[in-house]
Amino acid sequence: MNGDPRRSDGPKPRLVLVTGLPGTGKSTVAEAIAGLLGAPVLAHDWAMSALRPYPEVQSALDRTPMGHRVVGWSTLHALARSQLRAGRSVILDGVARTGEVHMCREIARDENASIVVIATQCSDPSVHRSRVEGRERLIPNWYELDWDHVERSRTTWEPAEDADLSLDAASDWNDNLALVHNLFADEDGD
C-alpha cells in the first residue's frame, strides 16, 4: 500500500467505543456492530485475561496505583490505533470512564478516523441484577463480577458525556438493535 492510509480519499475508518457498566449489554452491542461494519471487537476483559496466568504480572498490577484498568485501556488504545492507521475500523468494548473516552476521541482525531460512542445502561436494577447473575461469557482465565460489586459501581457511575447513542438493556433488544442500525445508516448517508 502506497502512502499513508490516514490521508486517503476513501471512507474514514471508524473507532466505535461501547461503554457502560458490566451487565448492560456492551459486548452484545459491540458484536452486533462488528457484524454491521465487518470490524473486529477489542474487549477490555479479553485483553486483561491474557495477563491473568502470570502471578508476577498480577502482583505488580495490584501494587501499582494505576492498576489493571489503565493497563487494559492502554493496550486497547494501542491496538485501536494500529487498526485505524491501517485504514480499518475497530470496536472497543469496556467500562470506559471519562479519561478513556477522551483518549479514544484523541486517537480518532490523530488517525483521521470518525468516532462513535455508544453508552449502555440498565435502568431497572432487578433486570440489571438478573443480567449480571445470569451471565457466563466463558472468557479464558477471567472471572465474572458479582452483583454486589456492580451495584456499588452503579452509585458512582457517570455515563459517557456526549454519547452518540444511549441504549437501555431494560428495553427490548430488537428496539435497541434498530437504533444501532439507524445510527450507522445515518452515518453512511453523511
Tens of pLDDT, residue by residue over 57-94, are: 878 877 876 677 888 899 999 999 999 999 999 999 99
| Exposure letters 28-61 (e unless 16+ CB within 10 A, then b) | bbbebbbebbebbbbbbbbbbbebeeeeeeeeeb
**Which of 47-51, 70-74, 102-106 is most confident?**
102-106
HSE-up (13 A, CA, CB side) for residue 139:
18
Map grid coordinates 444511549 to a residue. Answer: 166
* Section 136-161 average pLDDT: 86
Which CATH code, of 3.30.1370.140, 3.40.630.10, 3.40.50.300, 3.40.640.10, is assigned to 13-189? 3.40.50.300
Tell me the pLDDT band of 16, cut-offs 50, 70 and 90. very high
